[in-house]
Amino acid sequence: MNDASKPLTLFVDTFWISPYVFSCFVALREKGLDFTVEPVALQSKAQHAPAYRDRTITGRVPALRHGDFWLAESQAIVEYLDDAFPDTPRALPRDVEHRARARQIMAWIRSDLMPIREERSTVTMFYERAASPLSVAGSTAATQLLRVADLLVPEGSGSLFGAWSQADSDLAFMLHRLLLNGHAAPAKVRAYAEREWQRPSVQEFVKHERGAYVPY
């Protein structure tokens, strides 16, 4: 059985607010792959159920099931999709230096900027806007994010590496934590983020129907 014939399932959070689910969903859509979606109720700790936890190894969401193979961690999933489906549009650049930079950006977004992720959570993007201004730590992180984005984004608000990559969508998602909550941004950065936000794959995620939010 070849890779193309094995069914793909993406395990997502119930409320469709995870930036990591977003990353995998967009990558799958951009690659034109057929897949089904299965929600995991994080608010009920369903990710810790042995049947899910042990298959994903780390009990995390999102996870990808490709035939009998299970994989968690969004960046690992995106890279796996490029390896497993080499004849589909790439999620990461083909050029080795550009690919390394894309990985750097994606890893940084996942590991840094915690005050933004805490004070401008994805709940404020898809449910209710933030009611309080950023703290000193949040403002410092926002300044850092916008500085890095200003360095990376080319004039004309094109994609970071000349063509779309998952790093573009992930960076735009992080920037929208600020933009959707009324934070100012350099014109070039705002135009870039808003342009990426309009990609059909991104809009499909953004406009997905969401039920009433239950904190978890």
pLDDT digits over 76-115, tens only? 999 999 999 999 999 999 999 999 999 999 999 999 999 9
Distance between CA atoms of residues 116 and 128, nearest Å? 16
Q: Which CATH class is domain 7-90?
A: alpha beta
Please provide residue 36's backbone torsions phi and psi, each rounded to the nearest 5 degrees.
-105, 165
CATH 1.10.287.990 given to domain 96-199: no
Q: Can you tell me which residue has the tokens 């950065």?
A: 189
Long-range contacts of range 94-98, CB-CB < 8 Å, 24 or more positions apart? 95/161, 98/161, 98/165
DSSP string, 28-56: HHHTT---EEEEE-GGGTGGGSHHHHHHH
Check: pTM over 0.75? Answer yes or no.
Answer: yes
Q: Is the pLDDT of residue 56 over 80?
A: yes
Inter-residue contact 130 to 179 (CB < 8 Å): no
Tell me, what's the pLDDT at 49? 87
Q: Give CA–CA dist 33/166, Å, rounded.
A: 15
What share of the chain in percent tops pLDDT 90? Answer: 90
Amino acid at 78: V
Tokens encoding 150? 């200003």
pLDDT digits (tens, 9 = 90+) for 166-210: 999 999 999 999 999 999 999 999 999 999 999 999 999 999 999
Instruction: Return d(Cα 205, Cα 78) in angstroms, integer.
Output: 16
How far apart (Å, rounded) are the C-alpha atoms in residues 61 and 9? 12
Q: Where are the domains of the chain?
A: 7-90, 96-199
pLDDT digits (tens, 9 = 90+) for 109-146: 999 999 999 999 999 999 999 999 999 999 999 999 99
Residue 1's pLDDT is 41
d(CA 161, CA 207): 27
pLDDT at 216: 83
